Amino acid sequence: MERHLLLPLCLCWALSAGGAERSGPPNLLILLMDDMGWGDLGVFGEPSKETPNLDQMASEGMLFPNFYTANPLCSPSRAALLTGRLPIRNGFYTTNAHARNAYTPQEIVGGIPGSELLLPELLKKAGYVSKIIGKWHLGHRPQFHPLKHGFDEWFGSPNCHFGPYDNKATPNIPVYRDREMIGRYYEDFKIDLKTGEANLTQIYLQEALDFISRQQSSQQPFFLYWAIDATHAPVYASKHFLGTSQRGLYGDAVREIDDSIGKILKSLQNLGISENTFVFFTSDNGAALISAPKQGGSNGRFLCGKQTTFEGGMREPAIAWWPGQIPAGHVSHQLGNVMDLFTTSLSLAGLQPPCDRHIDGIDLSPAILQGKLIDRPIFYYRGNEMMAVRLGLYKAHYWTWSNSWEQFSQGVDFCPGQNISGVTTHTQEEHTKLPLLFHLGRDPGEKYPISFSSSEYQKVMEQIFPQVQLHKETMVPGEPQLNVCDKAVMNWAPPGCEKLGKCLEPPKSDPKKCFWPH
């Protein structure tokens, strides 16, 4: 394996897998799914084979079976993708309790700090026009909105599509176009919880097609961040797709997403810009097994799911597609992370990453365009704790925890049917002196810890310990943004509510420590 080398980025516009020249930087399209698991795609072995467009995307592009999120929960993983930095650096974590997952519900006071530099803001230097479609999840208060952090356009919501609410104790969540709300979920954008019917994916599809068409006409490079949420409970699909999957409602949602992605890729081809558009498909975290099988997906052979730092919570489906640039039908065993999309996108745009802060994402373009392997560790974080690290095929757990006995006794199970003694623990177990070590090639399900007394264990840990020591010594945590909650900051009166007559009266401010149970 060769180590990551920084090439002169000014050259990258003219580089490609086959050496063919390109004129100007490519368009960038990130397709980010919500709670979709590694095992939800036919190409990864899902037995129903109901993702023909994604499977074809993989056959025409490059599959990444070893691709990870930066956190097993929605908000921190999205913050990591757009900043190229671990959540503990960019502030998307909590210190209210040890190793707790935290995110951005309506009552959260914090959001993405103004000091963070997001991908669309940096891409402006290369003339990009950027749009986000779908879920933002980096803070719902106006100062945290996408257009305050580099995006030029937004259609979607700042929060998950939970509800409906009574607009008294809790307001329904707004949907925005750019800077102003245009309605609320369940009121103006219907989601039928009984049938699962909603037309949102079709709306998000049309938004994407319209934006791509406009940008093709304007001849400006674009960055489109398509962050849809149909596979996040409560799962939904449009009427045309309801009842069409062997997997039930969740499968209906996956089939509609697959169909939509097929139409987006076809649009790029029909407009003649597919060979100048880099497309990457992945998910924000593993499937939510607590909601499965009716409202959640599959993590294949991997252990546990969303909320945990076992493979099922952190390893994601990932496909890169770029006709004429990425060799078709290839599988890369490169260790990748959502944070790499930040650095890789900048590289493809001919830009350097910021040099005034630590960037965790690496440039994957040598792996994607030239088939090279870049030696690097993957760190698994849960809240403010580094729980595990992967180096090569080996993964060392420094802490193990699924969730508390109290939560588990109430039916909250992140590892249904997968209890492994001493591994899927319900108390936080520290292993920093003798980490639990697994070989993910032989044992992808993390069932068989390598013996502490074996020569294999000793040899591998001699390589891992220095990596972890260096990581911890150089770690400078950011100010935690997910510590304080206050019902007064909920979506009572978002920008634009006056025009619609949808402003609501907020309660008196009463900030408190957020409670994060797991």
State residue 7's pLDDT score: 32
In this predicted structure, what is the pLDDT of residue 320? 98
Decide: helix, strand or coil at residue 391.
Answer: strand
Token pair of 223 as six digits: 């960055």
pLDDT at 510 over 80: yes
**Measured distance CA(169)–CA(217) in Å, rounded:** 47
C-alpha distances (whole Å) from 483 to each of 159, 383, 492 are 17, 11, 21
pLDDT band at 40 (very low <50, low <70, confident <90, very high): very high
Helices (H), 274-398: 311-314, 340-348, 365-370
Contact 99, 387 (CB under 8 A): yes
Q: CA 402, CA 146: separation in Å to the nearest integer?
A: 33
Closest CA to 263 of 201, 221, 177, 189: 201
12, 137, 145, 497: which one is catalytic? 137
Q: Is the pLDDT of residue 18 over 70?
A: no
Q: pLDDT confidence of 14, banded at 50, 70, 90?
A: very low
Quickly count: other Cβ atoms within 10 Å of residue 188's Cβ.
14
Coil vs helix vs strand at 344: helix
Alpha carbon distance 161, 169 (integer Å):
17
Q: For residue 97, what pLDDT is reported?
A: 98
- Counting every residue, how long is the chain? 518
| pLDDT score recorded for residue 301 | 97
Instruction: Write the CB contacts of 269 (distance below 8 Å, at least 6 apart in sequence).
Output: 323
pLDDT tens-digit map of 262-273 = 999 999 999 999
More confident residue, 15 or 201: 201
Q: How confident is the model at residue 4 (pLDDT cuts 50, 70, 90)?
A: very low
pTM, two decimals, is 0.95
Q: Give the span between the Cα atoms of 432 and 471, in whole angstroms.
A: 14
Supply φ then ψ for residue 512, to 5 degrees: -140, 165
Separation of alpha carbons 448 and 427, rounded Å: 20
Q: What is the β-pairing status of strands 62-63 and 319-321?
A: antiparallel
* Mean pLDDT, range 107-134, rounded to an integer: 98
Q: Active-site residue 431, yes or no?
A: no
- Beta-carbon count within 10 A of 185 CB: 22
Residue 153 confidence (pLDDT): 98
3-state DSSP assignment of residue 18: coil
Give the helix/strand (H/E) hosting 455. Answer: helix 455-473
Which residues are within 8 A (CB) of 86 and not within 5 positions of it... i.e. 6 or more apart?
70, 80, 339, 360, 379, 381
- Whether 149 has a pLDDT exceeding 60, the answer reads yes
Q: Could you tell me the two tokens for 464?
A: 């891992």
How much is the pLDDT for 133? 99
Half-sphere exposure of 169 (CA within 13 A, CB side): 4
Q: How confident is the model at residue 1 (pLDDT cuts 50, 70, 90)?
A: very low
Mean pLDDT of the chain: 95
The pLDDT > 70 percentage for the chain reads 96
What pLDDT is stored for residue 99 in this prediction?
98
Of the residues 4, 10, 74, 330, only one is catalytic, namely 74
How far is residue 401's CA from residue 99's CA, in Å, rounded to a whole number?
9
Check residue 358 and give its pLDDT: 97
pLDDT band at 10 (very low <50, low <70, confident <90, very high): very low
Report the distance separating Cα 232 and Cα 286, nearest Å: 11
Task: Show the tokens assigned to 398.
Answer: 């420094």
Where is the binding site for Ca(2+), in residues?
34-35, 74, 284-285
Rounded to an integer, the average pLDDT of 340-346 is 98
Q: Where are the alpha helices (DSSP H) in 17-73?
A: 52-60
Please give the pLDDT value at position 19.
35
- How confident is the model at residue 481, as a pLDDT? 98
| Residue pLDDT, tens place only, 293-303 | 999 999 999 99
Q: Within a 10 A sphere around the Cβ of 56, how many other Cβ atoms?
A: 17
Our answer to whether residue 74 is catalytic in this structure is: yes
| pLDDT the model gives residue 6 | 33
**Host H or E run for residue 259:** helix 249-270
- The answer to whether residue 132 scores a pLDDT higher than 50 is yes
Query: Both ends of the chain: CA-CA distance in Å?
Result: 37
Q: Tell me how far apart the alpha carbons of residues 232 and 74 are, in angstroms, rounded to a whole number.
A: 10
Mean of pLDDT values over 457-481: 98
pLDDT at 11: 31
Compute CA 372 distance to the chain's CA centroid, rounded to the nearest angstrom.
Answer: 24
Q: What is the pLDDT of residue 515?
A: 98
Element (H, E) at 257: helix 249-270
> Looking at residues 133-162, what average pLDDT do you find?
98
pLDDT of residue 16: 33
Strand-pair category, 336-337 with 67-68? parallel
Q: What is the pLDDT of residues 233-271, one digit of tens each?
A: 999 999 999 999 999 999 999 999 999 999 999 999 999
